[in-house]
Structure formats: C-alpha cells, structure tokens
C-alpha cells in the first residue's frame, strides 16, 4: 500500500508544480551546495580498474581499502586493526546490519531523540523496537542519562550515540562519553557510534571519539565517504569494531557472514579509497573551512533574531531552532505557511521526533546567498505575525 504524503510534502509539491521557487534550507547534500571532490583524483583512481574489470570481492571489503581506513584512524590517534572493519554500501546499511546482528523480535535498542528519522524505519525492517532517550535542549542538547536509565530494561541490546548529532549539531563531550561508556559497560550493552559528521567538528580540541577515549567493551564506529569527502553517490561506508577481544571476535564473525551474503559495496570505489585518503586531504581541509565559515555566518544571522532560540552547533551540517514567539498556528502550520508565503522550506522538529514546542531544522550547508536570503525570509515571516 502506498504511503500517503504528509501535508508539508504535499504543499511543497503543489507549489513546485505551480512554478514557485522553493529554497530547501534543510538540505544537507554537499553536492547540491557546491562541494565536489576533485574529479581528476577519481578518474585516475578508477582508470586501472576499468582497464581490467576484474572481480575479486572480500566479505569484509578489499584489504587495501580497510588498510586505508585504519590509517585514517591511526592519524587521529585511534589504533584500529584493518581486520576489524566491515565495508558497507551506506551508513543506513551499516545500521541495518547492526540491528540485525544485535537484536531480534522483542528486543530493543536505545536511540537519541531528536535524531535522524530513518533509524525508526531501519528498526522496523529489522523487526526490533527503537526506544528513544532524550537529548535535553536546556542542557545544550546533552544526553539525559536519567532518561536512558528509565528506557533500558532486560531486553535492551545496544545504545546508539549520534555525535555530531543530526539535527541539533550537538557533540557529546568527553565527560558525557566517559559516563555513557561506563553505563553501557556496566549494563553489558554495546555502543553504536554514528560519526558521519566527525570531520566537521567545531570544538577547540580533537573530536571526542569513544573508541579512542574510553575503549568500550564492545563498540561499533560508523562513518563513510558521503559527508567526509562530499561523495554521497559513491556509496562506501564502514563499521569499525573495537573493544575486548572476546566480544569483538564473535561479533566480527557474524557481521562478516552478513556482509558476505550481500557483497553490496562497489568494487571500484574500494580500490580507489587509498588514493582518496592520500590525495584528498587538501580538498577536505578547504571543505571543512568553508563549512565552518557557513556555520559561523548562520549563527551570526540567527543571533540577531530574539524570537529564535538555538544552541550553536558544535559539529555537522545542521542546527535546531526553537520559536520563542507565540504564533497563530502549530509547528506544521508554521512550516507550510513559511513555504507558501516566503518560499522557504524548513523541516519541522516532529520529523525528528521532537514534539515539544515549535522547532525548526535548518542546514547551514547552504551557500551564502541562499543562507542570507532564507534566514531573512524566516525573520520577515515571524514578524508578520
């Protein structure tokens, strides 16, 4: 049965069909916002493969690709055995593999809220329950440890940490990481760390990575090329396993079996990966600086509006706004009217399971003219009412 479109998407399609230009200020696709990995590096890296076109897959991923990823972590002070890596075709696939590995019908996994809405869909496909623990806006979107404790029970099988968080931009502090790892270890719960935005950390020190800082008993660290190198179309991600050998070994064995069933990761991009890490550093440095500049611009523009409250994002591509002014419509009505009147499309908080008050999700990845125009339109709209 086809799923009915929500009223917000219905409005977007209606306005677009009528010829109205809509600025999608929630969009986080780096390619749409002017970021493109150097094509000549990809061409050189792919050329050898297309000349011979052979096929020698490995269920974990090609050894040279896994060695390149391990080298990436080593340069950041996180030792990782290349044999403890599983390559996947996207982080959503990584989550599905892990949900299937760790839990079954009747079991539950603990996930933050607000968070990426696909987690719920992936959990449904894996036939497991997702229990949401709160991130506290009044604590700079910090982890509500009391809520995690309330949500956990004997059927809990893992806890998920998304840092930097989508959509709040919050990054778990070193103190939060230490407390979460201690709690998870005491409960014998593996930690799943979604770090796809970790290259875009705006803090003063190095990124607080759990597998390097606290060494949980069993930790699955997820990342990939989509955000890191602005290559969402090449579909290469990974699961890095770390922790106690007695717990890592059986999990790795079962994950390898799952991966071997599908062999979904594209072979040419695996062969190209060492060149991307070796030659892509200048691009990544420029890309990171520009994202930081756009983030700073968005923060400066939004801080001029007293009717909008937000926690300045510490990482990622997104921030979450709270509308502090009483409006004559609810959150959904706000988003629809903003689109109709100003041609600006922001995501509502409820898309991310944030149903307290009126919240809006904005991507500061937008290019400067669109960022300035969109925020100005948002302010006009608020003051109109």
pLDDT of residue 233: 94
Tell me: pLDDT of 9 over 80: yes
Let me know: does 138 contact 131? Beta carbons within 8 Å: no
Neighbours of 381 (CB within 10 A): 17
**Tokens standing for 290?**
């520009």
Find all residues with CB under 8 Å of 26, minimum gap 6, and list them.
Answer: 318, 345, 346, 347, 361, 362, 363
Is 70 exceeded by the pLDDT of residue 1? Answer: no
| β partners of residue 222 | 194, 239
Burial class (CB in 10 A: 0-12, 13-18, 19+), 151: middle
Task: Give the pLDDT of residue 338.
Answer: 98
In this structure, which topology does domain 54-279 adopt according to CATH?
3.40.640
Domain 7-36+282-384 CATH assignment equals 3.40.50.1170: no
Mean pLDDT score of the chain, rounded to an integer? 96
C-alpha atoms less than 13 angstroms from C-alpha of 192 in its C-beta half-sphere = 23
The crossing angle, in degrees rounded to 10, of helices 267-279 and 281-302 is: 80
d(Cα 345, Cα 369) in Å, to the nearest integer? 16
Domain boundaries, the chain: 7-36+282-384, 54-279
Task: Work out the average pLDDT over 86-107.
Answer: 97
Judge whether residue 2 has pLDDT over 80.
no
- Same topology, domains 7-36+282-384 and 54-279? Answer is no
Chain CA centroid to CA 1, Å? 29
Q: What is the pTM of this model?
A: 0.96
Tokens of 296: 């700073």
Predicted pLDDT at 188: 97
User: What is the arithmetic mean of pLDDT over 210-223?
Assistant: 95
Q: Is the pLDDT of residue 356 over 90?
A: no
Mean local confidence (pLDDT), 344-373: 94
Percent of the chain with pLDDT over 90: 92
For 304-338, how does the pLDDT look when each residue is reduced to its tens digit (9 = 90+)? 999 999 999 999 999 999 999 999 999 999 999 99
126-139 pLDDT tens trace: 999 999 999 999 99
Which parts of 288-353 are beta strand (E)?
308-310, 318-323, 344-345, 347-348
- Integer Rg of the chain from CA: 21
């Amino acid at each position: 049965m086809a799923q009915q479109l929500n009223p917000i998407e219905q409005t977007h399609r209606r306005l677009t069909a009528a010829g109205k230009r809509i600025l999608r200020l929630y969009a986080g696709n780096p390619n749409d916002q002017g970021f493109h990995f150097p094509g000549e590096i990809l061409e050189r890296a792919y050329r050898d493969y297309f000349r011979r076109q052979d096929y020698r897959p490995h269920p974990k991923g090609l050894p040279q690709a896994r060695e390149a990823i391990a080298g990436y972590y080593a340069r950041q002070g996180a030792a990782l055995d290349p044999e403890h890596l599983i390559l996947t075709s996207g982080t959503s696939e990584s989550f599905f593999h892990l949900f299937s590995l760790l839990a079954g019908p009747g079991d539950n996994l603990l996930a933050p809220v607000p968070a990426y809405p696909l987690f719920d869909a992936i959990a449904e496909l894996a036939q497991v329950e997702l229990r949401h623990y709160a991130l506290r806006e009044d604590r700079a979107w910090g982890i509500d440890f009391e809520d995690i404790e309330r949500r956990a029970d004997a059927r809990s099988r893992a806890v998920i940490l998304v840092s930097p968080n989508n959509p709040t931009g919050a990054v778990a502090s070193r103190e939060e990481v230490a407390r979460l790892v201690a709690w998870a270890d005491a409960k014998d719960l593996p930690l799943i760390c979604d770090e796809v935005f970790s290259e875009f950390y705006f803090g003063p020190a190095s990124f607080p990575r759990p597998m390097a800082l606290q060494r949980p008993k069993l930790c699955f660290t997820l990342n990939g090329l989509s955000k890191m190198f602005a290559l969402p179309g090449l579909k290469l991600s990974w699961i890095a396993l770390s922790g106690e050998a007695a717990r890592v070994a059986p999990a790795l064995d079962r994950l390898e079996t799952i991966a071997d069933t599908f062999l979904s990761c594209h072979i040419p991009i695996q062969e190209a990966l060492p060149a991307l890490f070796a030659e892509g550093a200048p691009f990544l440095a420029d890309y990171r600086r520009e994202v930081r500049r756009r983030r700073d611009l968005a923060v400066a523009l939004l801080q001029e509006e007293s009717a909008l409250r937000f926690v300045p994002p510490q990482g990622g591509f997104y921030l979450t706004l709270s509308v502090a002014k009483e409006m004559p419509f609810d959150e959904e009505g706000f988003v629809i009217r903003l689109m109709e009147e100003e041609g600006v499309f922001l995501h509502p908080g409820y898309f991310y399971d944030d149903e307290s008050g009126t919240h809006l999700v904005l991507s500061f990845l937008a290019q400067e003219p669109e960022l300035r125009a969109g925020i100005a339109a948002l302010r006009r709209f608020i003051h109109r009412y």
